[in-house]
Amino acid sequence: MIDPGIRAEIVHRLEQAETEHGVRILFAIESGSRAWGFASPDSDYDVRFIYMHAPQWYQAVDLEERRDVIEYPIVDEIDLNGWDIRKALRLYWKSNPAFVEWIQSPITYLERGDFRSSAIELLPGVYAPVKGVHHYYSMARTNYRGYLREAVVPLKKYFYVLRPLLAARWLMQTGSAAPIEFERLLCLLDDEPEVLAEVHGLLERKRNTPEIGRAAAIPLLNAFIERELPDSPAPSLPATGKSSPSEVIDRLNALFHQTLREFHP
């Protein structure tokens, strides 16, 4: 739940960004711990958005040299960053995990037109689950080895290992994009009640303490992570309806042109 005053300020800053850069924001969402569902009371607001210029902006000899991101410094715990639609779709073509999570975020600040819903409709054909598995295993491995193998550890880092591990397990079992909400992934631990109970206890502390800080490592969770994290993942995934590369790029081009026409008929 986002405080109404914070939400209003975020929308105001988004509208200012539109005016400052002469763009149209298609959607803006919350990413990071607030979207994942394990934010601390003092967590930043990680606002991410997709925007587009007028059609003629893309009809330029120097298009590849033009800046395709909008970034602002963090002010009052609000972190505001956005991608141009063309950049976003090129990354979607490569199954970029950030964009795939953004379109699924449960917290929306602003949404215009059909771009986001159309991108979600394309997800089964565009997204390559094997790329997601490798991404999530890499994220989990980096955070585990970097933070959680000492006697005293930063407890919040458990979530930056457990969420990607469970997302990878979801992908392996279903062959479809994992939900970004941490609690929706916890059903995967139903057959491991002790691990699940430990996670719930840690989650409660994280949500209600400004900074849960450092404490003794949790052997039960470390043992689970060691079991779950392969040294060299070579996943065998269920068959999916993923389209051929040429079909994917045709659909993304169609979405790009459709969105330009929607706002500049």
Tens of pLDDT along the chain (265 residues)? 899 999 999 999 999 999 999 999 999 999 999 999 999 888 999 999 999 999 999 999 999 999 999 999 999 999 999 999 999 999 999 999 999 999 999 999 999 999 999 999 999 999 999 999 999 999 999 999 999 999 999 999 999 999 999 999 999 999 899 999 999 999 999 999 999 999 999 999 998 888 788 899 999 999 999 999 987 655 666 655 568 889 999 999 999 999 999 999 8
Q: How far is CA 243 from CA 97, 234, 238, 239, 247, in A?
A: 18, 22, 15, 12, 6
What's the confidence (pLDDT) of residue 236? 65
pLDDT for res 265? 82
E strand map for 100-200: 108-111, 152-154
Do 91 and 155 lie in one domain? The reply is no
Same domain for 118 and 18, yes or no, is yes
- Do 11 and 117 share a domain, yes or no? yes
Kindly state whether residues 55 and 119 are assigned to the same domain.
Answer: yes
Q: Of 109, 155, 112, which is closest to residue 8 (Cα–Cα)?
A: 109
pTM: 0.94
CATH code, domain carrying 117: 3.30.460
Residue 233 included in any domain: no
Q: Are residues 119 and 146 in the same domain?
A: no
Distance from C-alpha of 256 to C-alpha of 154, rounded to nearest angstrom: 43
Residue 244 sits at φ, ψ, to 5 deg, of -70, 160
Distance CA 2, CA 45 (A): 9
Which residues have C-beta within 8 Å of that of residue 126, sequence separation ≥ 6? 92, 93, 95, 242, 243, 248, 251, 252
In this structure, how many other beta carbons lie within 10 angstroms of the beta carbon of residue 52? Answer: 23
Question: What total of structural domains would you count in the chain?
Answer: 2
Residue 234 lies in a domain: no
143 and 47 inside one domain: no
Backbone angles phi, psi at 51, to 5 degrees: -135, 170
Domain contains 235? no
Alpha-carbon gap, residue 124 to 177, rounded angstroms: 8
Q: Would you state the pLDDT for residue 243?
A: 80
Decide if 119 is inside a domain: yes
How many whole angstroms separate alpha carbon 91 and alpha carbon 172? Answer: 22
What pLDDT score does 254 carry?
98
pLDDT value at residue 79: 98
How many CB atoms within 10 Å of residue 211?
A: 13
- What's the pLDDT score for residue 239? 53
What separation in angstroms does the CA of 251 have from each of 9, 113, 232, 245?
Answer: 35, 18, 33, 10
What does residue 170 show for φ and ψ, rounded to 5 degrees? -60, -45
Same domain, 154 and 71: no
Domain shared by 71 and 118, yes or no: yes
Give the per-residue pLDDT at 177.
94
> Can you read off the two tokens belonging to residue 244?
């051929």
First to last CA, the chain: 36
Asked if 144 and 199 sit in the same domain, the reply is yes
Task: State the pLDDT at residue 237.
Answer: 66
Report pLDDT for 235: 61
Determine the pLDDT at residue 245: 85
115 shares its domain with 192: no
- 192 and 258, same domain (yes or no): no
Give the domain extent around 83.
Answer: 4-125+243-263
Do 217 and 257 lie in one domain? The reply is no
